[in-house]
Structure formats: C-alpha cells, structure tokens
Amino acid sequence: MTPAPTAAPTAVVTGASSGIGAATARRLAAAGYRVVLTARREERIEALAAELAEAGRDAVPYVLDVTDRAAVDAFAASLDGRCDVLVNNAGGAIGTEPVASADPADWRTMYEVNVLGVLNMTQALLPALTASGDGTIVVLSSTAGLATYEGGGGYVAAKHGSHVIAETLRLELNGQPVRIIEIAPGMVRTEEFALTRFRGDAEKAAKVYEGVAEPLTADDVADTVAWAVTRPSHVNVDLLVVRPRAQASNYKVHRGS
C-alpha cells in the first residue's frame, strides 16, 4: 500500500512486525504521528495497522526488506517527500559461536541488516528528513555496540557498525535540521530476539533471562524512543543506554535463586 500525503508528521519504523519495532510504532502513533510500518512479514504489519486504526491512530503497512536497496528507494519515493522521523529498528543476532568457528554467512546476514539496512534507509530518506525542517533519525543499536563479550563477535561487530553510523552522521549533519538519536538497549526480553539468536531453540533462549526478575520489555524501550523523539527540536539525545536494574554490564547480571 502506498502512503498518501498527510499533514500529520510521518514516522517510519523499520522492523515493525514485532518486539521493539511494533511497540515503538504504537507509542509514536499515540503521540500523534502518522506511522508507516515497514517489515518483511506482511500479515504482522497489516494486523498492527488494523489495531492502530481501530484505536483511532493513523498507520500504514508497507512490506519492505531494508537490505534490498532498490526496494528501499521505491519505498522512499512512495512517501512523496514526507518523512519527519526515521526509526532504524530492524536488526537482530544470529548464533553465539566464538570467532574461531563462527559461520561467515551469519556475520554477513547480521551486517547487512544491522549496518547496511541502516545505511540504506538513512540515505534514501535523508532528503525528506532534511526537507522537513525538523527531522529525526533514531538508530536502535545495543549495548553490544559499546562493549564486547564472548560468543557475540558477529553481533557486536554489527552493532558497533550501527553505533558508528550514528556518531558519524551527527558530525556530518551538524548545522542541518536533523537530529541523530542513538538508543542502546541492554537485556530486553521480547518474543523473538533470543529465539532467533539460538536458531529456534526455546530452551536456550529462555536461559538468557533465567533468574532475572525484570528484564526490559519492548515497551520499556519504545517508551524511551518516544521520549527522545518528542523532546524539543533543539534537544538532541546523542546516546541513551537503557538496561534493566539487574544488569550492570553485558556480562554482569544479577540472577535470583
């Protein structure tokens, strides 16, 4: 479906089919944005758009693979030059193998979505974001983009990449009417992140959160994103790290008995 022109500010959210992306779309829609939901799973974003419409919100689903540059360019053209906020949320981790035995194909997949996906969307929508006179780009990175840990080499490398994109953009766009916000979540329990990382092994995925009374939820992160986006135009949240109280670092987590 092609989004039609509107007077409301438009927020594009990638990876909006579940988890943090879906929660962020709900938050921004509630804040008055016309939300364009992008993801590969058509049925998921259509269901979310219907949910938001029933609540009186303005949302449009658009099937999109952020790693497909031609598709991203076609999507950008469909917006007719209107984009006020871009939330680069699409991403994910695959595997926990050490560097010595990791599958390069997994690393390539993570790099393409976490880094090149952010690059594709940002390049394609930057003209519209700049033309808005008050654009905002959000990069959902991770604490993995700030510190390393064993078994996370590929994901850590990819998230360091997305972190550096945000830092570099902030330097290169200084003086332009576009803010660059980076939100770096720590341990977040969603329905799919750990399950995907462990290749569908539900038992291994559950152990990630074992004994942690209250890991972050997708809504916790979405609340943080919406807060940062809705600050006055002159306020830029360069980097916001958000973790559950039980997590002091990527590798130090309090687990109750």
Residues recognised as catalytic: 155
CA-CA distance, 207 to 212, in Å (whole number)?
A: 10
Q: 126-138 burial, b if ≥16 CB within 10 A, otherwise e?
A: bebbeebeebbbb
Torsion over CA: 158, 159, 160, 165 (sign): positive
Q: Which residues contact 121 (CB under 8 A, 6 or more apart)?
A: 12, 14, 66, 72, 86, 88
62 phi, psi to nearest 5 deg: -145, 115
Q: What is the DSSP string of 3-36?
A: PPP-SS-EEEESSTTSHHHHHHHHHHHHTT-EEE
Six token digits for residue 22 = 């879906």
Could you give the 3-state DSSP secondary structure of residue 85?
strand
